[in-house]
Amino acid sequence: MGAGKVLRISVTDRCGLRCLYCMPESGVDLVSPAELLTYEEIERIARAAMELGFRRFRLTGGEPLVRRGVVSLVEKLARLGPGDLALTTNGLHLAEFAASLKAAGLMRATISLDTLRRDRFEQITRRTGFERILRGLEAARTAGLAPLKVNTVVIRGLNDDEIPDFVRFAARERVEVRFIELMPTSGLSPECKELGSWRPALFVKAEDVKARIVEALGPLAPVMDSDGVARIWRLGDGTRLGFIAPISNPFCRGCERLRLGPDGRLKLCLFDREGIDLRKTLREERAGPKEIVGALRSALERKTTWERGDPETLSSEMFRTGG
């Protein structure tokens, strides 16, 4: 299963939330404004990616909507004529931006939401704003950012009791909820007083999530038009549900996704700790289109032999690389 070549573009490492598994509550070393790629630099990289057959772009963060002028970046990318231009957001600012994003050329949006309970939302995110996210979801629907999806990271003992609630939410709100396995990320560290470090006790396999849904709500049928990392299933009423299993069923083989960080570091994977410094290539080496294409091609070639390693030894700054 593959989605073709996808470039995920993290425009900032800043975020208005501090989700337990993603971002430490304090002491985070953020990228300085001078180190951020400009929108013009991102456009140049995206244009080079198009030459290599990339037709799908996704804007991520951090929270992409906290970076000033992000609508202008959407306009620049849309003018390149990609087949897909999407956004992953925490939804806090989506009500404000949905209409202008759609007008600029954004095609669809995915909202990250790990609970449907206000008190638990504040526990998981360490912030307020639950109602704002629901308003953002409605604004995205009104603006026509479709298909609208919701990403939910399942954590044992924290929100796994809400799995049936999310399925009912998907049916009621006409969205595709995608259940994602917990991964070892920088939010989960000894300093995370709420959960501590990543450990198997927190982990719920995608197959177990699916089994709970079948037990509570009836059989699921596979959908064969899946075009990404999620395996899609459908309930009898037509509700679509996705399952993303990077730990129990890794999808590394055949993956053609690259991740561009806000500092210009091009990474092969969420767990690639080194990457290629495209900002240096652009600014110090004065790279032209040919050199940028070469750097991207080199990254794709390295992907063919990439081994991410044992999950027990991994960690990722998800808030910087884009989850």
pLDDT at residue 194, rounded to an integer = 63
Of the candidates 127, 145, 170, the one whose C-alpha atom is nearest the C-alpha of residue 26 is: 127
Helix, strand, or coil (residue 117) = coil
Least confident stretch, 1-10, 53-62, 78-87, 170-179: 1-10
Give pLDDT, residue 2.
47
How many domains does the chain contain in total? 1
pLDDT band at 270 (very low <50, low <70, confident <90, very high): confident
Q: What are phi and psi of 136, to 5 degrees?
A: -65, -40
Q: Is residue 152 part of a domain?
A: yes
Domain membership of residue 154 (yes or no) is yes
Model confidence over 232-248: pLDDT tens digits? 999 999 999 999 998 88
* 6-10/56-60 β-pairing: parallel
Mean pLDDT value of segment 21-41: 88
pLDDT in tens, 106-153: 999 999 999 999 999 999 999 999 999 999 999 999 999 999 999 999
- Residue 46 is assigned to a structural domain of this protein: yes
- Whether 305 is covered by a domain: the verdict is yes
| Residue 277, CB-side half-sphere exposure with 13 Å CA sphere | 7
> Is the pTM higher than 0.85?
yes
pLDDT tens for each residue of 199-219:
678 889 999 999 999 999 999
Q: Which residues contact residue 232 at a Cβ distance below 8 angstroms, ignoring those fewer than 6 apart? A: 176, 222, 223, 225, 226, 240, 241, 242, 243
The CATH number that applies at residue 174 is 3.20.20.70
N residues, the chain: 323
Helices (H) and strands (E) in the chain, counts: 10, 12
Helix axes 94-104, 130-143, angle to 10 degrees: 20
Domain residue limits at 101: 6-321
Q: Tokens 């954004």, residue?
A: 106
The C-alpha atoms of residue 312 and residue 315 are separated, in whole angstroms, by 9
What six digits make up the tokens of 110? 């995915």
Query: Are the C-beta atoms of residues 175 and 137 closer than 8 Å to each other?
Result: yes
Query: pLDDT higher for 305 or 7?
Result: 7
> Which one has a higher pLDDT value, 203 or 293?
293
Q: What is the pLDDT of residue 306?
A: 72
Residue 77 and residue 85: Cα distance in Å, rounded?
A: 8
Is residue 1 a part of any domain in this protein?
A: no
The percentage of the chain sitting over the pLDDT mark of 70, rounded to a whole number, equals: 87
